[in-house]
Amino acid sequence: MDTVIHNALIVTVNQDFDIIQNGVIGIRNGLIEWVRTGGKDVTSIPASEYIDAGGGIVMPGLVNAHTHLPMSLFRGLADDLPLAEWLNDHIFPAEARHITQETARTGALLSCLEMLLSGTTTCCDGYFYEDAVAEAIAFSGIRAVAAQGVIDFPAPGVPDPTRNVAAAVAFVEKWRQRSSLITPSIFCHSPYTCSSETLQKAKQAADRLGVLFQIHVAETEFERNQSLTATGLTPVGYLDSLGALDENTLAVHAVWVDEADMEILARRNVNIAHTPESNMKLAAGVAPVPRMLEKGLTVGLGTDGCASNNNLDLFGEMDMAAKLHKVTARNPTVMSARTVVRMATIMGAQAIGLGDSIGSLEPGKQADIIIINTRQSHLTPMYHPESHLAYAVRGADARDVLVAGRVVVRDRRPVAMGMDDVRDRAAAIGARIQPL
């Protein structure tokens, strides 16, 4: 083996959600070779490196199904506002003034650092200057689905809106063979910022290139009412009428959807990215995720960008998702611990098109693995590991992080990135940004 992880409590998140005591994982050429019981003595297994998990939880790296990486630079910039005011009066102007290739790269590095240090090994991103974002992703060592943003207004890096889809296509063509860790994609911001022609062109381009099509959908009641007034259709119905919904579409938010909308989403096999903390903070509402799961929809868990969350800790998102839906349904049995752990791992991977290669610890899959330090007061005692993962573990409990078998965080320290340098550069940019 290249690497053997031992002395581990392995939460596989495989189909049976097997939990292995005294587990051992063998890694060769970036892939999981085997997962089995083995105890502490592994000297009989030849390997280049042995990693002692210290009895901690070893699990698949988390999958953040929706991010805007450079927006870490806007963390706390405009809080406690309705979405329309927050977006139109604060975020869009800040992006126009302050997002450049340099700042997009720095903000993306800061976000990748935060995610890796909190146990996320894969993210699904959509933003502008995505070429610079992808460079930051590649440098950090995280895995990502990365998408160039499309919008029918002058945007950072794409001042001519008539070039928006062409810019997204150029990004996909550049990055589709450039990095084994980056899967390019196309991201249309929303039905209310993109014309029907743009939506159709972007989706057709994504289909032609064989990549994921991402879009914000039905995030607010205002958006739903606006769509009904303008088109006579809900946002989901409108996108369906344009041919934009299928198994290669990731619908982000999907808060204001009714039974008919969910029937369409299920019939088209659309995947969902659920962002409960952002939805709550912007008072957008509560997506009917338990009902979506009943209908067989694949729902991943995302944080959204730091401007509307304000962090990228997916463990916190698991805790919030479970409790939000319990109190909304007034039913403590909905959104169980295993459900939200699946949403943050294998279902998130499936939602962004990577379910065959990541999201669970099984032979043949990529060795995207995290080790949780459970020798802490807030994690003692432990009866059910999945319950700890959903309700007690914090991002700061991630000790070691591997992506494709390569250690990118060791004992809470990133291997490739200088933490102080990234933070200092981001802080310098923040000093130039003045809140409106």
pLDDT of residue 83: 83
- Tell whether 243 is covered by a domain: yes
Residues 225 and 371 in one domain: no
Residue % of the chain over a pLDDT of 90: 92
305 Rama sector, left if φ>0, alpha if ψ -120 to 50, beta otherwise: beta
Residue 71, classified by CB atoms within 10 Å of its CB into exposed (0-12), middle (13-18) or buried (19+), is buried
Q: Residue 48 maps to which CATH number?
A: 2.30.40.10
CA angle 329, 334, 340 (to 5 degrees): 125
Residues 293 and 399 in one domain: no
- Tell whether 429 is covered by a domain: no
- Tell whether 428 is covered by a domain: no
Residues 344 and 227 in one domain: yes
Model confidence, pTM: 0.96
Q: Which residue type sits at 114?
A: E
CA-to-CA distance for 214 and 126, rounded, in angstroms? 8
- Count the neighbouring beta carbons within 10 Å of the beta carbon of residue 260: 11
- Tell whether 67 is covered by a domain: yes
Residues 149 and 8 in one domain: no
Note down the domain range covering 171.
62-351
Residues 32 and 109 in one domain: no
Residues 155 and 218 in one domain: yes
Residues 233 and 280 in one domain: yes
pLDDT of residue 39: 62
Q: Name residue, tokens 């596989």.
A: 12
- Tell whether 430 is covered by a domain: no
Residues 147 and 72 in one domain: yes
Q: Are strands 49-52 and 120-127 parallel, antiparallel or unpaired?
A: unpaired
Helix axis angle for 196-209 and 164-175, nearest 10°, is 20
Q: Are strands 213-217 and 249-253 parallel, antiparallel or unpaired?
A: parallel
How many domains would you assign to the chain? 2
- Tell whether 425 is covered by a domain: no
197 φ, ψ to 5°? Answer: -65, -45
- Tell whether 360 is covered by a domain: no
The last residue of a domain, from among 324, 351, 378: 351
pLDDT per residue as tens digits for the range 352-384: 999 999 999 999 999 999 999 999 999 999 999
CA-to-CA distance for 14 and 2, rounded, in angstroms? 23
Residues 274 and 345 in one domain: yes
Tokens of 24: 């051992």
- Tell whether 254 is covered by a domain: yes
Q: Residue 104 maps to which CATH number?
A: 3.20.20.140
| HEC sequence for 271-315 | EEEECHHHHHHCCCCCCCHHHHHHCCCCEEECCCCHHHCCCCCHH
Residues 55 and 66 in one domain: no
Residues 44 and 98 in one domain: no
- List, for the chain, all residue ranges whose pLDDT scores fall below the cut of 70: 39-41, 436
pLDDT of residue 154: 93
Residue 237, C-beta contacts closer than 8 angstroms, at least 6 positions apart? 260, 261, 264
Residues 17 and 153 in one domain: no
CA-to-CA distance for 378 and 381, rounded, in angstroms? 8
